[in-house]
Amino acid sequence: MAASWSYRTPQDREDAVADKAAELLVTQKLLEQILKAPGNLIALETAHVDDALVQFRTLAMRTGTSMYLWDPEGGISSLRESGLRVPGSKRITDALRYVLQSMHFGIYLFTGFEDHLKPPDTVLLRRISRIHTGNERKIVFLGPNLPVPEEIEGSLQRLNPDSEVRTPPRLRDGRWVS
């Protein structure tokens, strides 16, 4: 049984760690941008939806931030606790009502919503966009190209993490800085 060995130099290993750290730092920056966004509706345009979800899940577990994912097959589920689902949230209308009625802070990531978003849902989205309490609920639409109804386009903030220049962190005074 032959084992496949890859000979890597210490520099190769450091570069791989730096690349992973750079990706994680970008996600933390994105999380800060989402939290500081003036509105509650955000469109995050990325071609790497699955990678972004993995990073958001990791970040939710590390920081304890309340993040949830809505997809058409499963409804709303927690990113921190993998088995926790909100019952009765498979339809996007029910999920938006849940977000609107929730009294707790949360970031709700919506993927695969394009075929499910109907005109009555824009009324709920406009109501969510007007929430300005201490326990904000942020809705983040995640996808490669995000067509949204023009009724909510004015209250939607668009972010594109793929356009940012990703520079690897560098070592300065014994600490990694970006």
pLDDT in tens, 136-163: 899 999 888 888 888 888 888 888 765 5
Angular region, 75: left φ>0, alpha ψ -120 to 50, beta rest: left
User: How far apart are alpha carbons 22 and 65 in whole angstroms?
Assistant: 20
CB 31 within 8 A of CB 55: no
Predicted confidence band of residue 9 (pLDDT cuts 50, 70, 90): low
CA gap 88, 79 in Å, rounded: 18
Task: Identify the CATH assignment for 13-162 out of 3.40.50.300, 3.40.50.970, 3.90.1640.10, 3.30.360.10.
Answer: 3.40.50.300
What pLDDT digit, counting tens, does each position of 13-67 carry? 444 444 554 444 457 788 888 888 888 999 988 888 888 888 899 989 988 889 9
The amino acid that residue 102 corresponds to is S
Q: Where are the domains of the chain?
A: 13-162
Q: 95 or 154: whose pLDDT is higher?
A: 95
Distance CA 124, CA 112 (A): 18
DSSP class of 108 = E
Does the pTM surpass 0.85? The reply is: no
